[in-house]
């Protein structure tokens, strides 16, 4: 897999506003926020799309969700509510081929999404 923009952020070749990091996961502010808080939560392991998640990645993917909830509490909108989104491939609107969870909070969300 070619290094993506997000691999370069993990490797600090491209700067980002990092809000959380541990051994497995990195979270940083989206450059084009769609809500008052818009954080991208990514595994350090490069996985191109949701379709490429294997059985051995299940704990890692769980960590993305766990991190989203932890950050929502930290940012103070966990009780009001928030949205997590993972886009897959062209029709899903995926533009960076390293899986990522969008955490959007700080405003009321609309449904259905576009
Ligand atoms: P996708 O469309 O793949 O679900 O989400 C990719 C996200 O990456 C978009 O929301 C986009 O704004 C964000 N993004 C693209 N380039 C950069 C960048 O250089 N830095 C940061 N922090 N976010 C980026």
The CATH number for 11's domain is 3.30.428.10
pLDDT tens-digit series, residues 51-61: 999 999 999 99
**Domain total of the chain:** 1
In the numeric block, the tokens 């509510």 are attached to: 81
Kindly report the pTM of this predicted structure.
Answer: 0.98
Find the 31 Cα to ligand 1 centroid distance in Å. Answer: 6
Residue 92 domain-assigned (yes or no): yes
Residue 60 domain-assigned (yes or no): yes
Residue 113 domain-assigned (yes or no): no
User: In the numeric block, which tokens belong to residue 9?
Assistant: 């952020």
Task: Pick from 51, 95, 100, 103 the residue to mutate for probing ligand 1's pocket: most ligand atoms within 8 Å of its CB.
Answer: 95
Find the 58 Cα to ligand 1 centroid distance in Å. Answer: 24
| C-beta separation of 99 from 53 below 8 A | yes
How would you write 48-110 as a 3-class SS string?
A: CCHHHCCHHHHHHHHHHHHHHHHHHHHHCCCCCCEEEECCCHHHHCCCCCCCCEEEEECCCCC
Residue 54 domain-assigned (yes or no): yes
Residue 12 domain-assigned (yes or no): yes
Residue 64 has pLDDT above 70, yes or no: yes
CB atoms within 10 A of CB 20: 15
pLDDT tens-digit series, residues 71-100: 999 999 999 999 999 999 999 999 999 999
Residue 1 has pLDDT above 80, yes or no: no
Q: Which domain holds residue 97?
A: 5-105
Core vs surface per residue 57-69: b (16+ CB within 10 A) or e: eeebbebbeebbe
Residue 9 domain-assigned (yes or no): yes
């Amino acid at each position: 897999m070619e290094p993506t923009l997000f691999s370069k952020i993990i490797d600090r070749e491209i700067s980002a506003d990092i809000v959380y990091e541990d051994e497995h996961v990195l979270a940083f502010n989206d450059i084009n926020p769609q809500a008052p808080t818009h954080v991208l939560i990514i595994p350090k392991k490069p996985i191109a799309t949701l379709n490429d998640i294997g059985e051995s990645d299940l704990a890692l993917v769980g960590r993305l969700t766990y991190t989203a909830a932890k950050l929502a509490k930290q940012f103070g909108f966990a009780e009001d509510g928030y949205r997590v989104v993972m886009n897959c491939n062209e029709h899903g609107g995926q533009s960076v081929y390293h899986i990522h969870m969008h955490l959007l909070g700080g405003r009321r969300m609309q449904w259905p999404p576009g």
